[in-house]
Structure 1
Amino acid sequence: MLRGLTTVSFWAADLGAAREWYTELLGTPPYFERPGYIEFRLGDYLHELGIIDSRFAPRDHALGAGGAIVHWHVDDLEGTLDRLLSLGAAAHQAPAEHGEGFVTASVVDPFGNVLGIMYNRHYLEVLRTGLPGS
């Protein structure tokens, strides 16, 4: 069954601009590149964020904001949201609390992808105690 998140894929019509924007946001260049595709490793578990030239999107795939929202844990939701907005992302969902220790927000990056951020106390518990069975 599902064992873990491997790669979140975003689309960009201008892959060079997406490379620059995400390098600035993440503070590191892609670790893997090939024509039409770049990939960053990020976070405590080195998850992958792949950015694909939108020319390679499946013919019936809708581009732009929509569909599922993947939320990345952040320690400072307001600070991260402010940084994303200062880099040119557009507000998508204002910060919303979903119970103690769970706050989400999202933006639309300059390439039309929804980027979710979340302060999630369960994420921190797993990080502190380790993965089950490890």
Structure 2
Amino acid sequence: MLRGMTTFVLVADDVAAAAAWYTELLGVEPYFRRDAGGKPAYVEFRIGDYQHELGIVDSRFVPPRGTGGAVAYWHVDDIEAAFARLRSLGATEHEPVTERGEGFVTASVTDPFGNLIGVMFNQHYLDILGARRAA
């Protein structure tokens, strides 16, 4: 039933500010933008080995949300460096770098717009990527 992540959508009150922050974090500009009322209502980036889509939608277009919720973890090769970079850009620690078992280390932050972002060194991700490249 679930075949893989396609688009991960974050919410922000100021999509332009969020797009600028994520452009700095990711090092790429959004490839897609939709405006409403003269300002960005949705932007989308393509990132990573599989060009996953990371979208940011204006909070005007989503139901009210509470705190917490699911965390999407993105594989990173150097979790300490990724965690430090996120914090240097204004994200706040949600969960520190934590060893979860051999080959699995996680951390998470809250971005300046209230969204949770997880980073993970995930050996399984690297194994799958290596097998796909070898095929």
Cα shift readout 1:21-76 (whole Å, capped 9, x = no counterpart): 00000000001111100001110000010000001012xx415x411110000000
Normalization by structure 1: what TM-score? 0.93
Secondary structure (helix, strand or coil) at the match of 2:109 reads: strand
Query: Aligned ranges for residues 12-31 of structure 1 at < 5 Å?
Result: 12-31=12-31
Residues 53-100 of structure 1, C-alpha deviation per residue, up to 9 Å, x if partnerless?
Answer: 001012xx415x411110000000000000000000000000111111
Give the match for residue 2 of structure 1.
2
Provide the TM-score with structure 2 as the length reference: 0.92
Give 5+ residue unaligned stretches, structure 1. none
| Distance of 1:15 and 1:99 partners within structure 2 | 37
Structure 2 segments unaligned to the other structure (5+ residues)? 36-40
Query: 1:125 offset after TM fit, Å?
Result: 0.2
State percent identity of aligned pairs.
59
Q: Which runs of 4+ in 1 moved over 2 A?
A: none
Corresponding pairs, count: 129
| Structure with greater strand share of residues | 2
SS of 1:107's partner is strand
**Letter of the structure 2 residue corresponding to residue 45 of structure 1:** Y
Partner of 1:51: 56
